[in-house]
Amino acid sequence: MDKNITVLETKNISKSFGKVKALKDVNFSLYRGEIHGLLGENGAGKSTLMKVLYGLYSADQGDIFINDNKVNISSPLDSIKLGIGMIHQSSTLVPEFTALENVILGIEGKKLSLDLSGERIKVKKLANEFGLDFPLDVKVKNLSAGIKQKVEIIRALYRGAKILILDEPTTSLVENEFDQLLKSIKALVAEGVTVVFITHKIREVLQACDRASVLKDGEMMGTVSTTNTTKEELVEFMFQNKDIDVTDSALPVIELPEVKLSKEPVCSVKNISVKAQDKDGVNLQDISFDIYKGEIFGIAGISGNGQKEIAEAIINPRRINQGDIFINGESIAKLKTIEVFEKGLFYTPEDRKKEAILPSGTITENMLLGHHREKRFQHNGILNWNKITKEAQQSIREFQVKTPDEKTPIGDLSGGNIQRVVIGRALINELNLLITHNPTSGLDMGSVEFVFNKLVELKENNCGVLYINEDLDELMLISDRIGVVHAGKLVAIFTREQYDKYKIGSLMIGG
């Protein structure tokens, strides 16, 4: 790192989305050749600031300087020309194209033909130099998240990026892959590349970065050198005035109650195989596990390895091709979803906005979903809206949903508040088993704590929980046991004493 040379600087950047001020007068600067952590909890404005730098958003006010020259960035093309490259949180590669096609896509040049032999050599060499090798001719849709990330980094470098922005690069990486990524980043920095490393995990910043800046509610709280700071100080920066204890993975500290697990499982999945419903789905092969009363059973795995299929097999068991599922010893293999729910099950799906809610429906209507056939909400077969509304108002109070009233369309709420409604809906009735998929993704700390508390409450009430999550830190924090899925198989089950990030991580990527 060269402290004397500032390669990039922003002055008083502000950006609003409607009424929400996402960035307020943000000043931020980068030294040449440093790894600069950008910390902040979900919704703090980290990605927004970087998208302004990359030309995807235009700032309402403020200036950007590159090498002390004021620049105007109004599209990604401007940004690329200024030597900025961005690796986005979710892949921005074209799934149907090969890795090589993706790398060369959009590069300006006079060449008309798609003959890539020249590029092939250059790309290979570049990838090799930084330990970022990947198969060039495989379609991106068949590559793992870790490999896709390599392709994206090389794509940026191939365009001559000198400033590389990595937006939450560790989200879909396991521990071993994170170590590898860090190695490559260090090699890049040695060549004079400057790296911005966006994350919400303090641990990663202390491990990887030279300096760190902290954003909170769109405001820059300050920049510190990681050699002169501590975890506690960064926590203080990130969560000032919030009355929450936080781990170095930026998760709320929770106390798991001692609950004596039942002898008989509340849910027993026995050797189930399920054929994938669509082309990109995963076939489940011979999956067995038990969940006991009062147990939080975690499922770890890279997204798309069968997690969703397991959840859906339980709530829609008629899809199962082989095997059986028992709830409190009773087979549910022949039941419809609505009948499965009557056994005291509920499911909160992974994609909150697409699968869990009807965005333009009111909060009341969304709270009713899945319960609408219950007798207590009906009067002579017709929905009793008075009663439903009262119940919704009560849930809004109980789950502290921030909303003007129960008639507000749920799509207008923030992710955290939507999730409160979704979880609240699951908890209306007494449950035997809750299946929940990534319930905390993208939530602010207060809402994450809310979700955790609810899970702990369920545990205390002897309810079983099937907790599917990609974030291993989170699973290890809250689960009693963790099952690891890979390519549609349950490859191992770990008990709490056996937890090991590297071991679980390598199983997740098929090692």
Q: Which is nearer to another protein, 101 or 444 (CB)?
A: 101
Q: Which is nearer to another protein, 95 or 222 (CB)?
A: 95
Q: Which is nearer to another protein, 112 or 382 (CB)?
A: 112
Q: Which is nearer to another protein, 162 or 201 (CB)?
A: 162
Q: Which is nearer to another protein, 81 or 186 (CB)?
A: 81
Instruction: Say how many Å lie between the first and final Cα of the chain, rounded.
Output: 35
Report which residue type is found at 479. S
For residue 186 the two structure tokens come to 């260090």
In the three-class reduction of DSSP (H, G, I as helix; E, B as strand; rest coil), residue 48 is classed as helix
Neighbouring residues of 353: CB distance < 8 A, sequence distance ≥ 6: 359, 411, 418
Residue 302 to residues 3, 167, 172, 308, Cα–Cα distance (Å): 38, 18, 7, 11
Which secondary structure element, helix H or strand E, spans residue 310, and what is its range? Answer: helix 307-315
CB 65 within 8 A of CB 28: no
- What minimum distance in Å lies between the beta carbon of 106 and another protein? 4
CB 162 within 8 A of CB 182: no
Spatial distance between the Cα atoms of 296 and 319, rounded to a whole number of angstroms: 25
- What minimum distance in Å lies between the beta carbon of 96 and another protein? 5
- What minimum distance in Å lies between the beta carbon of 442 and another protein? 17
- What minimum distance in Å lies between the beta carbon of 219 and another protein? 21
For residue 71 the two structure tokens come to 């620049």
Residues near another protein, by CB under 8 A: 17, 54, 56-57, 75-77, 80, 86, 88, 92-97, 101-102, 104-109, 111-114, 155, 159
Phi, psi of 218 (to 5 degrees): 80, 5
- What minimum distance in Å lies between the beta carbon of 80 and another protein? 5
- What minimum distance in Å lies between the beta carbon of 444 and another protein? 21
- What minimum distance in Å lies between the beta carbon of 112 and another protein? 5
Q: Which is nearer to another protein, 275 or 496 (CB)?
A: 275
Neighbouring residues of 391: CB distance < 8 A, sequence distance ≥ 6: 367, 377, 428
In three state form, how does the secondary structure of 129-152 look?
A: HCCCCCCCCCEHHHCCHHHHHHHH
Q: Which is nearer to another protein, 195 or 238 (CB)?
A: 195
